[in-house]
Amino acid sequence: RSKERGGRWERRTFKIVLSYSGTAFAGWQKQPGFLTVQSVLEKQLGRFVDGKRASNLEKQGKIKEALVSVAGRTDKGVHACGQVCSFYTWMRECKEEDVKSAVNSAMPTILRAVSASEVNRDFHPIFSAKWRRYIYIFPLRSRDEIDVSKVATLLRGLEGHSLSYAIFARDTKIARSSGPATVCTLYHARAALAKLPVPNEENVMVVELVADRFLRKMVRVLVSTAIKEAFAGANDDALVALMEETDRRASAPPAPAHGLCLAEVGYGNSQARDCLLRHCQHIVKNTKV
């Protein structure tokens, strides 16, 4: 039908890579009465809504808003420097720079479009994604005694395995036979000691996780549980052993949201090779803060 209509009726899909400060928003998902990333984007991209949808919205007395899909809905306080979303339009005159400009004109200090590109109409931020990369930055104080090398060893034991992460998830059913699938494959899981380039050079532990998918709050629970197990002097396979638990009290509460950042989403044949902590094992060896 689109070919018969031709021209401006051919649907076009745009992929947008986003960066935003999570502390400014009540999460990604649109919620009445709250400032969210989705609500800002759909309003800004509403200028590209036309055709039947625009007509229907006008008849209902509603403002024109686009329909935006996203690779992963971040919670309140979670940041992003490589979030991916998409929307479609039938506007033939819509250009990539127009899309990028529309996003960047909204809240330039806390929400930015890193890039905007027209992609195949079959593209979907979730279903086309091959992997996601998250970075968690955990502050270290002088009174803390987190064995960073132990945390790194615990996390590295998860690499290359397809396991059920139900014990580390929140807001999902614990049972393996019901609810959303809980099996994830971690391709890369590391931790390292670092110093932030701020006054007094604050010590932090950086955790990097790359997987085919993540469950709700999985990264934050995994980070806090790894720290807890490191404090307890657990065996190197302690996180793997926890997979068999059915009571989530065996894992720790989620680490604070503001330490988490969605760094990158991979598509097509891309591989997560350029990991920040790829060669970190020698960096964290025998390191304790």
User: Hey, what domains does the chain have and what are their CATH numbers?
Assistant: 12-119 (3.30.70.580), 131-267+278-287 (3.30.70.660)
- Rg value, the chain, Cα: 21
For residue 75, indicate whether it is catalytic. yes
Task: State the pLDDT at residue 71.
Answer: 96
Other Cβ atoms closer than 10 A to 230: 22
Task: State the pLDDT at residue 57.
Answer: 67
Tokens of 268: 């097509």
Give yes or no for a contact between 110 and 189, defined as CB atoms under 8 angstroms apart: no
pLDDT in tens, 226-250: 999 999 998 999 999 998 888 888 8
Annotated binding site for substrate: 134
Task: State the pLDDT at residue 217.
Answer: 94
Q: Cβ contacts of residue 228 below 8 Å, gap of 6+?
A: 252
pLDDT along the chain (289 residues), means of 10: 52 95 95 95 90 68 84 95 94 92 94 96 93 94 79 94 90 57 91 84 90 94 95 92 86 95 87 63 38
Task: State the pLDDT at residue 64.
Answer: 79
Task: State the pLDDT at residue 144.
Answer: 65
Task: State the pLDDT at residue 289.
Answer: 36
**Catalytically annotated residue among 75, 147, 212, 236:** 75
